Every structure is written in structure tokens, then in C-alpha cells.
Amino acid sequence: MTPLKSLLLGSALLLAPVSANADSITKTDGTVLSGVTVVNEGLDAVTYKEGRASKSVPAGEVASVEFDAYPEDVDEALGYLAEGDAVTALQVLEGYVDAQVRKSSERRYKWAPAFAAHMTIVLHQRLFDLQGMKSAADRLIENYPKSRYLPEAYLALARAEAWLGDSGAAMATLDRLAELVASEGLSEHWSREVALEKVALDPEQTGPAKRAALADVAKAASGDPVVWAQARVAEGESYLTEAEAAPAPKAKDLREKARRVFEDVIAKDGAGEEALAGAYAGLGDCMFFEGADADDEAILKQAVTSYLRVVLSYPNQGQYVPKALFYAMRCFDLMGDRSRTRDMRRALLSLYGGTSWAERPEVKN
């Protein structure tokens, strides 16, 4: 675009009438409330204006909210994120949230500070910065106790604690969430999430006993596809963990059972991004070991496809992405594709250099 055209376009935009916000609320049943202005995302309800009328929808019935406009800093951060720069996006959001915690100055977008605090948790998880994820979750819990993002913050805190090796703290955090659900009368979805994480994050539960407990969770969540799918993924992962120490014939059988579980999750409507990322990562594992054992390039290519789907489609699921990059690298290496092996190694070291996956000998050599 020439400078003159750019100037004319900018002038035209300045003269154009400013449109009112047109936010939208997607409910858990799939219906969408569009053309509204969200006022607040509360723990009990999301309040909004439709024309001049003030209305609300119970928080437990809200799947997601799409905003038409944001405060300048938040908008800038989301712009960086849209360009794939999660690190800079996180830095901008951290600055905004810290400023709001010190002295709240948000008048027009009252929902924005809690939303931004929630996004810092999401981005720390995306980068698999567990200490940052833990601190961000603690900050939201302390400063925005009436936000609809509060239950998710408790879950994020419990996961960060467990992934950092403190399962006792994780169980205590889940107990706090259970108390919150009971005292505030929150959606049963959160009770099911607690039941799931009590099993999934407990290192003492392993093998068939763990899978039986997960089956109970999945059965109780038959009408909640998100929790059902997450429970099934944890079941599949349990098979894979058991296969690591099993003799070859049994390991093959365990991985085949895991594969069927992951395929069930992928076929499930409404499974949710976290479960789908886990299912595709797990499916990749099943095919990787099969392809590596048989020296079968066609199967290894299927594994790569599954791993790269995790990397490209579910970047916020940092608990799976570095692993997917590592095994995609291994697949390309076994197939003799040196160029793509280097690409995967470079991406792993660049994005997740501080994780255990980047410290493995296969990456260093």
C-alpha cells in the first residue's frame, strides 16, 4: 500500500462511525447469544446488556465468551498471540494484570482484569512454565475470587503443583475447589473435574486400579463430554505408562488397548481441546513404538501426523506439545529425514528449552 493510500484509509477510519460492542456468549448447549455487551463474568453468572435490557446467564451454562473490543494492553497482547508470539503476549498481559492488581483502573471493561489474569495462566501453561503457571493461578485466586475463571484457576494450580512433584499440595488445592463448589453451589461439572483430577494427579494410583477409578469417573460424566474425554485420555495414558515396563508382547497389547481408547476420544463430539491434544499425542505414541519396532516408515509417518496435529492445533496444551515435538523429531530421525529432524529439534529447543524433553540425550546429540 502506498503512503497516500495508507493515509487516506486511516482518515476514512477516523471519520467512520464507531460501532457499539457486539460481544457473543456461547452456551454449553451450543446456542449463541450474539450482539450483546458483556458487563461482568461473575462466579455465579455472566451479566450482559441486550439493547437497554440487563440480562444474565448462569456461569455454569457458559462455554465461552467472545469480546468485540478490549483494553489497549490486552488487545496488543492478543495481537502478539495471533502472530504466534506467546512470550511477548504474556509479558504484556503480566504488566497489565500487575498494574490492575496494584490499583484497579478499568472502568469500561470491568471484566478485563480477571480475563487477562486467566490468560496469563493459559499462556504459562502453553509455554509449560510451571512455576509461572502456579504463580498466575495463585494471583487470580487471591485477587479475583468472584470471577467465573476461579474454578479453572484452582484446577490449573493443582496441575502445576502435581507436575512440579508436590502431589500433596495438589490434593489440598482440589479439596479447596471442592469446598468452593459446595459453598457457592457451582455447576456439577466442577465436582466431576475434581473427581477426575483426584485420580489423574495421584501418583499412588497406577495400573488396573487407576483405570477402574477413571472408568467410574467417565461413567459419572457420561453427560459431560469434556470430563468424560479427559478421563478416557488418562485411562489411555495409564496403559502407555504400564507398557513402558512390560515385556514386548504385553507392551504391544497394552498399546493396542490405549490406541482404541484414544480413537474413542477423537470420535467423541465435544471432547474439548485438552482431551483431543492428549488423545492425538497418545495415538502418536502408539504408532511411534509400533513403527519403530517394525522399522515401518508408513506407520512412522502416521505417528508424525498425529504429533504435528498436537503442535499445530492445540498449542495451549503445553503438557503435550514439547513431547509431541520430541517424538516427531525421533520419527523423522528414524526415517532418515535429517532436515526435518533439525527443524523439530530447533523448535523444541526454541520453545521449550527449559523442559525435560529438551534435556534428553537424543536432543543433545
CA nearest neighbour of 155 among 210, 189, 197: 197
Q: Is residue 56 part of a domain?
A: no
CATH number at residue 269: 1.25.40.10
Q: Is residue 276 part of a domain?
A: yes
Q: What pLDDT score does 16 carry? A: 41
List the chain residues with pLDDT less than 70.
1-21
Q: Is residue 242 part of a domain?
A: yes
Q: Is residue 194 part of a domain?
A: no
CB 266 within 8 A of CB 277: no
Distance CA 347, CA 131 (A): 22
Q: Is residue 45 part of a domain?
A: no
CB 48 within 8 A of CB 32: no
Distance CA 348, CA 325 (A): 6
pLDDT digits (tens, 9 = 90+) for 264-307: 999 999 999 999 999 999 999 999 999 999 999 999 999 999 99
pLDDT digits (tens, 9 = 90+) for 227-276: 999 999 999 999 999 999 999 999 999 999 999 999 999 999 999 999 99
Q: Is residue 157 part of a domain?
A: no
Please report, for residues 5, 89, 133, 143, 304, the alpha-carbon distance to residue 100 in angstroms, rounded to integers and kept in the order given: 39, 17, 19, 10, 43
Cell of 227: 470430563
Residues with Cβ within 8 Å of 183's Cβ and at least 6 positions away in sequence, in order, are none
Q: Is residue 263 part of a domain?
A: yes
Sign of the C-alpha dihedral computed for residues 184, 269, 160 and 82 taken in this order: negative
Domain residues for 335? 223-365
End-to-end CA distance of the chain: 47
CB 239 within 8 A of CB 255: yes
Number of domains in the chain: 1
Q: Is residue 196 part of a domain?
A: no
